[in-house]
């Protein structure tokens, strides 16, 4: 007797601290369910970011399983599957967006194929780039070998070498494939009943490979569906440079090999994977080092050589440099200018010349101040310092100009790097989005036509498009992003009645999140400044403790706190754990001994909230110093 189902579709979403992505995902899901009889099950793995509160307030109709710990992806999905009542089960990541007609299309496709067991879909990232993990081949020992040793990268379209991501198959054509992605995996409940649920041995990664393989072994077929697409912000490609990802992912492959391959093949596979783990981990560290250190080392070499060449000017005037200066001072000058440029953000991703110039300026000030307190025998020539600074500035300008034109894609000077927003919205919605963005950049304009949005943006010199779901469907938004994947425009999506924008600027980054410009505190430059402030003043206070210790009641605690700050486990100023958990708008930073509201006589919950938001929005080292100056006696908390 044929089984009857309560629903056509059971959608299972496992969530862990991605409240805003989950909110936008559910908004797209419910629009896509208008003509589908379905249930939505969210399994929350002990999130602390406000996800549960948001779900209860905005989506009371969902079935919610709130775990008391992070049980892992496989176990959480199994919890959802075990109570599902649909003919099809869809495993869906919370950092995805679906089109309004996606579910109808995939269900119709599966209904038309009696032997179909599971289906995956064409996935793109927030920039519109295709995610190759949408379709994969079975990771046999040889396929693993081709991938591990880079042959699949060298020959991505090869039927033999490119089997892991099936590069020989078009991303725009439906095909039977071996392996599907757990980010969007539609499975016939009948197949799950036969082959079993996800293997909970896999905590994260590998469980979708294992289940896809078992579905095939159960006599069903797996399908890659190209007639619709979804956005998956945090695709696997965003994690591959992580050493932790390498260990977790490849260890999952070992579990898979031991489970499914014969003894000889499993042993060979395990050896290959273990080699891959160390090779990939080494390469990840090496690549990160080369990317981070190559340019500064080249710069340092040129700067030092230029400074030594400058000494010829004095030699031509019959003025000899003391040998100590040539040995020590010139390298120290170069190191000071370089470190100052690094600290001021000259080597950050955005490649701004102004930051390099700022670095040279402050480096010169530091050199001159140090010069003033040196013994007379070490004081040679202030003129050399000034001419050296001019040389460093000239070198930076010429080298960056060359790199800008020679390797523009990898090294763009971003002469106009200000975010100029074009917003496709009308009336009150435009004003609402404008108020969100005004704190980031005052240049905000209106886009009048969705279909002509790219042209309007180009004419108005907008470099970022804000697409509002109140005016546009998710289908239109996803289609536009997919179509314009090679343009220089970046995109953010504004959900209706939300105080955040979500998007992704490239395939190499995870989804970005704008929440009332709270990102300022945790940008690279400010994190570096905050860390420098903590280390510098922690040691200053430690050195002054013989005098200051008498002002503290808890003398042991103040010493513990200062060393915790000096060695990086705490900060002078931060948010208490309770505050951070309650206010999801605040960025995650190290726990502070002091808080932004310390030093105020009157402290209500409203004032504390306001001071926290102001601190996150307008962070500066001066603000940290001001709080420390007012509340230093509380360092013994």
- Per-residue pLDDT tens for 571-585? 888 886 665 555 656
Please report which confidence band the pLDDT of residue 126 belongs to, taking 50, 70 and 90 as the band edges: confident
* Whether 352 and 469 share a structural domain: no
Task: Report the pLDDT averaged over residues 223-235.
Answer: 89
**Does residue 145 sit within a domain?**
no
Higher pLDDT, 439 or 434: 434
Higher pLDDT, 190 or 613: 190
**Does residue 155 sit within a domain?**
no
Its domain, for residue 312, covers: 239-417
* Nearest-angstrom CA–CA distance, 87 and 39: 11
Domain boundary among 379, 400, 417: 417
* Whether 206 and 85 share a structural domain: yes
What pLDDT does 352 receive? 74
Please report which confidence band the pLDDT of residue 619 belongs to, taking 50, 70 and 90 as the band edges: confident
**Does residue 156 sit within a domain?**
no
- pLDDT at position 160 over 50: yes
* Whether 213 and 302 share a structural domain: no
* Nearest-angstrom CA–CA distance, 234 and 507: 9
Which stretches does DSSP call E strand in 45-170?
A: 63-66, 86-92, 96-97, 116-124
* Whether 69 and 120 share a structural domain: yes
Q: Long-range contact list for 580-588, CB < 8 A, 24+ apart?
A: 581/48, 581/49, 583/609, 583/612, 584/19, 584/49, 584/50, 584/515, 585/499, 585/515, 585/516, 585/518, 585/613, 585/616, 586/518, 586/612, 586/613, 586/616, 587/518, 587/519, 587/521, 587/522, 587/616, 588/522
* Whether 507 and 548 share a structural domain: no
What pLDDT does 446 receive? 81
Q: How many other CB atoms sit within 10 Å of the CB of residue 406? A: 9
Task: Report the pLDDT averaged over residues 582-601.
Answer: 75
* Whether 99 and 214 share a structural domain: yes
* Nearest-angstrom CA–CA distance, 142 and 272: 9
What pLDDT does 390 receive? 93
**Does residue 143 sit within a domain?**
no
Please report which confidence band the pLDDT of residue 283 belongs to, taking 50, 70 and 90 as the band edges: confident
Please report which confidence band the pLDDT of residue 277 belongs to, taking 50, 70 and 90 as the band edges: low
* Nearest-angstrom CA–CA distance, 299 and 283: 24
**Does residue 146 sit within a domain?**
no
Report CA 521 to chain centroid distance, whole Å.
16
Phi, psi dihedrals of residue 460, rounded to the nearest 5° = -90, 0
* Whether 229 and 376 share a structural domain: no
Sign, CA torsion 391/392/395/396: negative
Question: Which H/E stretch holds residue 350?
Answer: none
* Whether 210 and 246 share a structural domain: no
* Whether 427 and 576 share a structural domain: no
Task: Report the pLDDT averaged over residues 429-449.
Answer: 74
* Whether 52 and 182 share a structural domain: yes
**What average pLDDT is seen over the chain?**
80
* Whether 500 and 532 share a structural domain: no
Q: How many other CB atoms sit within 10 Å of the CB of residue 440? A: 18
Tokens 């939505």, located at residue: 40
Task: Report the pLDDT averaged over residues 401-428.
Answer: 70
* Nearest-angstrom CA–CA distance, 125 and 485: 9
Task: Report the pLDDT averaged over residues 374-390.
Answer: 80
- pLDDT at position 7 over 60: yes
**Does residue 31 sit within a domain?**
yes
- Buried b / exposed e along 131-146 (16+ C-beta atoms within 10 A): bbbbbbbbbbbebbbb
- pLDDT at position 87 over 60: yes
* Whether 201 and 221 share a structural domain: yes
Of 71-85, 368-382, 571-585, least confident by mean pLDDT is 571-585
Higher pLDDT, 415 or 79: 79
Domain boundary among 516, 538, 573: 516
How many domains, the chain?
4
End-to-end CA distance of the chain: 69
Domain boundary among 234, 250, 276: 234
How far from 420 is each of 115, 423, 463, CA to CA, in Å? 51, 10, 6
H-state helical runs in 241-262: 243-260
* Nearest-angstrom CA–CA distance, 553 and 549: 9
Phi, psi dihedrals of residue 164, rounded to the nearest 5° = -60, -45
What pLDDT does 377 receive? 67
- pLDDT at position 250 over 80: no
Task: Report the pLDDT averaged over residues 253-265.
Answer: 65
Burial class (CB in 10 A: 0-12, 13-18, 19+), 486: exposed
* CATH, residue 107: 3.90.550.10
Q: What is the pTM of this model?
A: 0.69
What pLDDT does 461 receive? 75
Please report which confidence band the pLDDT of residue 470 belongs to, taking 50, 70 and 90 as the band edges: confident
Of 184-198, 315-329, 394-408, least confident by mean pLDDT is 315-329
Q: Which of 141-155, 251-265, 382-396 has the highest mean pLDDT?
A: 382-396
**Does residue 396 sit within a domain?**
yes
**Does residue 141 sit within a domain?**
no
What pLDDT does 249 receive? 63
Task: Report the pLDDT averaged over residues 390-394.
Answer: 93
Of 296-300, 469-473, 497-501, least confident by mean pLDDT is 497-501
């Amino acid at each position: 007797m044929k089984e009857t189902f309560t629903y056509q579709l059971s959608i299972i979403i496992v969530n862990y601290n991605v409240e805003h992505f989950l909110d936008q995902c559910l908004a797209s899901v419910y629009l896509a369910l208008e003509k589908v009889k379905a249930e939505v099950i969210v399994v929350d793995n002990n999130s602390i970011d406000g996800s549960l509160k948001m779900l209860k307030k905005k989506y009371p109709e969902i079935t919610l399983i709130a775990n008391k710990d992070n049980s892992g992806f496989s176990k959480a999905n199994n919890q959802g599957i075990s109570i599902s009542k649909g003919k099809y089960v869809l495993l869906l990541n919370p950092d995805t967006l679906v089109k309004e007609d996606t579910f109808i299309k995939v269900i119709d496709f599966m209904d038309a194929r009696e032997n179909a067991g599971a289906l995956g879909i064409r996935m793109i990232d927030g920039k519109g780039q295709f995610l190759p993990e949408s379709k994969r081949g079975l990771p046999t020992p040889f396929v693993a070998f081709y991938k591990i040793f880079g042959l699949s990268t060298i020959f991505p379209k090869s039927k033999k070498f490119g089997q892991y991501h099936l590069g020989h198959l078009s991303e725009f054509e439906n095909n039977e494939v071996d392996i599907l992605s757990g980010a969007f995996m539609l499975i016939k409940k009948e197949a799950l009943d036969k082959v079993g649920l996800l293997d909970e041995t896999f905590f994260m990664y590998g469980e979708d490979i294992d289940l896809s393989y078992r579905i095939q072994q159960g006599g069903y077929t797996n399908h890659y569906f190209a007639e619709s697409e979804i956005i998956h912000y945090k695709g696997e490609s965003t994690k591959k440079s992580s050493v932790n990802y390498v260990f977790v992912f490849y260890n999952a492959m070992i579990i898979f090999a031991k489970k499914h391959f014969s003894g000889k093949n499993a042993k060979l596979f395990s050896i290959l994977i273990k080699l891959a783990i160390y090779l990939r981990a080494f390469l990840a560290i090496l690549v990160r080092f080369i990317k981070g250190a190559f340019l500064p080392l080249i710069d340092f070499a040129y700067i030092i050589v230029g400074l030594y060449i400058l000494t010829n000017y004095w030699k031509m005037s019959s003025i000899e440099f003391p040998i100590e200066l040539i040995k020590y001072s010139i390298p120290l000058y170069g190191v000071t200018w370089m470190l100052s440029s690094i600290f001021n953000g000259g080597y950050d991703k955005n490649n701004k010349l102004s930051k390099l110039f700022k670095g040279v300026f402050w480096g010169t000030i530091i050199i001159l101040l140090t010069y003033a307190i040196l013994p007379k025998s070490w004081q040679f020539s202030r003129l050399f310092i000034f001419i050296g600074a001019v040389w460093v500035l000239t070198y930076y300008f010429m080298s960056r100009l060359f790199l800008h034109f020679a390797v523009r894609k990898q090294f763009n000077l971003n002469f106009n790097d200000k975010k100029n927003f074009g917003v496709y919205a009308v009336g009150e919605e435009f004003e609402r989005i404008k108020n969100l963005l005004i704190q980031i950049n005052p240049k905000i304009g209106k886009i009048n036509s969705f279909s002509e949005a790219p042209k309007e943006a180009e004419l108005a010199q907008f470099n970022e498009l804000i697409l509002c779901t109140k005016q546009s469907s998710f289908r239109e938004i996803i289609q536009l992003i997919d179509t314009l994947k090679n343009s220089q425009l970046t995109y953010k999506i504004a959900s209706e009645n939300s105080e955040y924008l979500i998007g992704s600027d490239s395939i190499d980054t995870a989804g970005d999140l704008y929440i009332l410009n709270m990102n300022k505190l945790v940008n690279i430059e400010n994190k570096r400044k905050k860390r420098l402030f903590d280390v510098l003043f922690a040691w200053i206070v430690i050195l002054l403790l013989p005098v200051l210790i008498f002002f503290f009641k808890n003398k042991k605690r103040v010493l513990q706190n200062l060393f915790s700050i000096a060695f990086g486990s705490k900060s002078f100023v931060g948010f208490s754990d309770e505050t951070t958990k309650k206010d999801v708008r605040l960025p995650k930073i190290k726990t502070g001994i002091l808080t932004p509201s310390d030093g105020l006589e009157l402290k209500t919950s409203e004032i504390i909230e306001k001071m926290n938001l102001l601190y996150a929005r307008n962070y500066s080292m001066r603000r940290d110093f001001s709080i420390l100056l007012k509340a230093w006696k509380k360092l013994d908390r």
